[in-house]
Structure 1
Amino acid sequence: MRRKIPNTTALICFEAAARHESFTKAAHELALTQGAVCRQIGGLEAFLNVELFRRSHRGVKLTEAGLSYSRQVAAQLDAVERDTLSVMRQQGASVIELAVVPTFGTQWLLPRLKDFQQLHPEVTVNLTNRTRPFLFADTTFDAAIYFGDGDWSGTQSHRLMGENPMPVCSPVLLEGQDALDAKQISRLPLLQQTTRPYAWRQWFDSQGITVDRDMTGPRYELFSMLSQAAMHEMGIALIPPFLIQRELEEGRLVIANTQALSSTRAYYLMIPDRKVESASLRAFRDWLVRQAHRYAATHEGLTPP
């Protein structure tokens, strides 16, 4: 079946004219004549049977339909350009498109990726933030690192490490004490993590106390946001120490109580079944699992076995 897609040249002319709101400037940018741009856009309007610009002696203005369509066209042209440049860059090299939970990606994975690059210079790893599971078939991702139970349909899971979050805060909130007990913590503002809404309730339960306000307090989606809020004395947060090593070493955050929240959930590398034979993914999987096990072995108490 023939696709209902306009001429690419017409779309490029339209995107440039919409961005400048000027046929003349679009023509200059594209090294075309103004008449050629006018003809391309006129043909596009005829194809769509929609008026995209209002013409007047003062120039052109996008219609509501034109404004909406220009945003969609610009996004799609950008995507085609990215994909084209990616193919041009590869020249036989392997590329892994990896979805990764943000703070784990920036705080733990990125500082170690140089080692993988040195071992496998022929493989490029691109990182994109994703905080929740998705359907691999609907994306261009080759693999994902996520936090959960490892149950992801159509994939093979490889456990990396647990979280083992502990209560952390600004040293100011300790008021000269070395640590805080559970009751003292319960009286502080509790900073909540959006994707772990029951974390504080579970932590207080493990300490044998019930706190009415254990699910109240400002919510933040990322651990990096939680750590910033805690550093600015906005409250106390449950954060895995391995995600805030620098902040702990510099004294901007302190562990207020060494009792960690145990969980059966962990960070996993998820590889879709259709990708498990990929040589580059196998190399990345083996390297990543070794890195995680090495880290766990040398940081006993910060990550569970």
Structure 2
Amino acid sequence: MIAPRRFLPSIPSLLALEAVDRLGSASAAAEELSLTQSAISRQLKSIEDQLGVALIQRNQMRLHLTPAAKDYVQVARTALNQIAQASLKLKANPTGGSLNLSILPAFGMHWLAPRLQDFARRHPEVTVNLSTCLKPFDFETEHFDAAIHFGQKNWPGVNYLPIMREDVVPVCAPDLLPDQEQDLSWLMTAPLLHLETRPDAWERWFAAQGRDASGMRGMLFDQFSTMVQATIHGLGAALLPSYLIEDELKTKRLVPAWNGPRISLGQFFLVWPQSRPESEPLRSFRIWLQGQVGPF
């Protein structure tokens, strides 16, 4: 049941309040919303009169929200964003059935994207919208229906569907490899490349080889794609997913930096919030994805 009308201000008044909070003046809010400054003032007075609460503090030339109004506008901002996202979904697929999926860039580009044509063929009624997000987020405040997660089962409040285990391989450019066969010590002193979202990957990899290598430093990257190119051009050795560098290994642009056994530092999962009922588009995608990976 929707709350009584007296508790629901108009969208124009909420937009005016949100803009004033973010921009700090009625004139800036008016310019952004293509209104006059007096129209902004009328909207602010309207919402104050409707709620019976003072929302604005005036300090010289700037407007500030009261502490209580600050909390209120945060909720209103989230609601306005959700309405806008729902409108975009409706416009993109007026017959219904869209799925907003958060993906990890390398996995999305190299593993998921090549397979999505099959899903589109099987489920033409579902529009899949992909957005990149590198870290876990709060499903309650974001517009995503589901996400691709890497690591362990450490994302609270979600359901998990295992997709695949990721094996990593230490690789480098051929010119960086020592001329004489050496033990693992050469790699411990080599320049090492690191990924922001996996800052302890090298330490965990060396630990799996029985070596203590705490506090390792080196160049830091936010995405695998950049790190792959840096590795190819000889900037250092990198731990890279095997599925990501198959072509580079075949063409010898990259070579194994150590021929020990491959290890896994985590798994890929499809995750979706436990707090919401599973939508039909999400259910179709989950069942299709499970068919792609088979039993885990």
SS at match of 2:114: helix
Q: Where in structure 2 are the equivalents of 1:179-258 lying within 5 Å?
A: 182-208=184-210, 210=211, 212=213, 215-245=216-246, 253-258=254-259
Which structure 2 segments of 5+ residues have no match? none
TM-score normalised by the chain length of structure 2: 0.70
Deviation at 1:85, TM superposition (A): 2.6
Deviation at 1:95, TM superposition (A): 1.4
Alignment partners' CA distance in 1, 2:181 and 2:277? 47
Larger deviation, residues 108-117 vs 45-54: 45-54
Match of 2:284 in 1: 283
Alignment partners' CA distance in 1, 2:29 and 2:64? 21
1:282/1:181 CA distance change after superposition, 3 Å:
farther
Alignment partners' CA distance in 2, 1:28 and 1:136? 29
Which structure 1 segments of 5+ residues have no match? 55-60, 295-304
Match of 1:109 in 2: 112
Larger deviation, residues 129-138 vs 263-272: 129-138
For 1:204, the aligned partner's letter is: F
Deviation at 1:99, TM superposition (A): 2.8
CA contact (8 A) 2:26 2:63 kept: no
CA contact (8 A) 2:161 2:269 kept: yes
Across the aligned residues of Structure 1 and Structure 2, the Cα RMSD in angstroms comes to 4.4
Deviation at 1:231, TM superposition (A): 3.9
Whether 1:126 and 2:129 are equivalent positions in the alignment is yes
Alignment partners' CA distance in 2, 1:88 and 1:232? 45
CA contact (8 A) 1:178 1:256 kept: no
For 1:148, the aligned partner's letter is: G
1:11/1:226 CA distance change after superposition, 3 Å:
same
CA contact (8 A) 1:166 1:259 kept: no
For 1:103, the aligned partner's letter is: A
Deviation at 1:164, TM superposition (A): 0.8
1:50/1:206 CA distance change after superposition, 3 Å:
closer
Match of 2:98 in 1: 95
Q: Deviations over 1:98-140 (max 9, x none)?
A: 2333321233212332232122111112223344455655654
Q: What percentage of residue pairs aligned between the two structures are identical? A: 35
TM-score normalised by the chain length of structure 1: 0.68
Deviation at 1:148, TM superposition (A): 2.8
For 1:50, the aligned partner's letter is: I
Match of 1:270 in 2: 271
Alignment partners' CA distance in 2, 1:52 and 1:211? 60
Alignment partners' CA distance in 2, 1:249 and 1:118? 32
Deviation at 1:234, TM superposition (A): 3.0
Alignment partners' CA distance in 2, 1:277 and 1:131? 23
For 2:237, the aligned partner's letter is: I
Alignment partners' CA distance in 2, 1:128 and 1:261? 30
Q: Deviations over 1:143-167 (max 9, x none)?
A: 3321234476665533222111111
SS at match of 2:88: helix
Larger deviation, residues 152-161 vs 106-115: 152-161
Q: Deviations over 1:2-57 (max 9, x none)?
A: 67665422344567788797859948975x67754553355457764424686xxx
Alignment partners' CA distance in 1, 2:231 and 2:244? 14
Question: How many residues are matched?
Answer: 284
SS at match of 2:234: coil
